[in-house]
Copies of this chain bind each other. A is one copy, B any other.
Amino acid sequence: MPPTADLVLGLNAVIVAVTAEVPRVLTLNRGEQPALPFGPLDPVQDRTLELGLRRWVSEQAGLSLGYVEQLYTFGDRNREEDEGSGEPRVLSVAYLALVREEEAETVAGAQWTDIYRFLPWEDWRRGGPRILDRAVVPALAKWRDSADHRALRQVRSERIDIAFGLHGSPRDGYRVLERYELLYEAGLVAEARRDRQLSQARGDEESPLPGRTMAFDHRRILATALGRLRGKIHYRPVVFELLPPTFTLLQLQRVVEALAGVPLHKQNFRRLVERGGLVEGSGRFDSQTGGRPAELFRFRRDVLRERPTSGVGLPVHPRE
């Protein structure tokens, strides 16, 4: 196995914070479109991939990452142009990182952007997003009907139903990547048109949907991160990485809702985290609620020992 010099390795970071009920991702301005932070691995200096990531994030953004988790390794050649050109193949190992609200200071050249600016069809907190019925579903239907063969139409129809929870299929908050990839395949996100630029000069493409474009395949990476994060809060208490040491239950609920993209039943949420042993009261109270003061809680680290797989469990049938 010879060293492969025609290959570049990088690390991508999806750095997430939640401020004021808005889930945000750290983005950089690389060219026209926002991009995720990207850094190289120093094969000599960095003993592990994760340490390498922490090193350059710290150097570049002055951010000290708390929770870090490897997401996925992206290495598909999605631009036709790459094929013949002498450009090296890019392989990127993507990481998900969570930082606390307070530490989320804006660094020069970087900004915290609402994740749902990039994936507007994922926010169901105030009911089904309008963009879905107005733009996404009709465009997908058009794509479905444009298939040449009946069988292909059937396949597309099922994929659409499953991904977006239509026609009786339950909606599944975790399938963020599946939804994005469907939209990409259907040519409904700007990235798809950009990537196909040279090979497809056909005029039958839809105009791209609302939702901000990102550089390279970064929106795909973001979708992967959001899906993973939504799944993770089910069975691991990761939300607390995003909160100050002490918080009210409503604050906690809002953070979970922001990530999950669905509204939760307040009383049941309280029951879940309290009876699940995830939090403990501090005895202190927050009177800035606008109503009855709320007790300040803190995360019970012991829960990791008692109930190793405990999370805040999202509802199967969220309220509308």
Given A93-B73, A304-B162, A307-B170, A7:B6 Cβ within 8 A: no
The answer, yes or no, to whether A211 is at the interface (CB within 8 Å) is no
Instruction: Chain B residues near A174: list those with CB within 8 A.
Output: 309
A104 to B170, CA, bound (A): 36
User: What is the CB-to-nearest-CB distance from A58 to chain B, in angstroms, rounded to a whole number?
Assistant: 18
Instruction: Chain B residues near A172: list those with CB within 8 A.
Output: 308-309
Instruction: Chain B residues near A309: list those with CB within 8 A.
Output: 172, 174
Number of copies: 2
The answer, yes or no, to whether A158 is at the interface (CB within 8 Å) is yes
Q: What is the chain B residue whose CB lies nearest that of A10? A: B1
The answer, yes or no, to whether A77 is at the interface (CB within 8 Å) is yes
Closest 4 CB pairs of A and B: A43-B89, A48-B76, A5-B5, A73-B73
Q: Are B161 and A305 in contact, CB atoms less than 8 angstroms apart?
A: yes
1/0 contact trace for A49-80 toward B, CB 8 Å? 10000000000000000000010110111000
Instruction: Chain B residues near A7: list those with CB within 8 A.
Output: 3-4, 7, 9, 41, 43
A306 to B162, CA, bound (A): 8
Interface residues of A (CB under 8 A from B): 1, 3-10, 40-41, 43-44, 47-49, 70, 72-73, 75-77, 88-89, 91, 93, 158, 161-162, 168-170, 172, 174-175, 304-309
Please name 8 pairs of A and B residues whose Cβ atoms are closer than 8 Å in the assembled complex, sorted by A.
A7-B7, A7-B9, A9-B9, A44-B89, A47-B76, A70-B73, A162-B308, A169-B306
A118 to B267, CA, bound (A): 47
User: What is the CB-to-nearest-CB distance from A77 to chain B, in angstroms, rounded to a whole number?
Assistant: 5
A162 to B310, CA, bound (A): 13
Q: Are A48 and B75 in contact, CB atoms less than 8 angstroms apart?
A: yes
Given A305-B161, A308-B170, A41:B76 Cβ within 8 A: no
Q: What is the chain B residue whose CB lies nearest that of A42? A: B4
A40 to B4, CA, bound (A): 9
Instruction: Chain B residues near A72: list those with CB within 8 A.
Output: 70
The 8 Å CB contact of A75, one of B4, B41, B76, B168, is B41
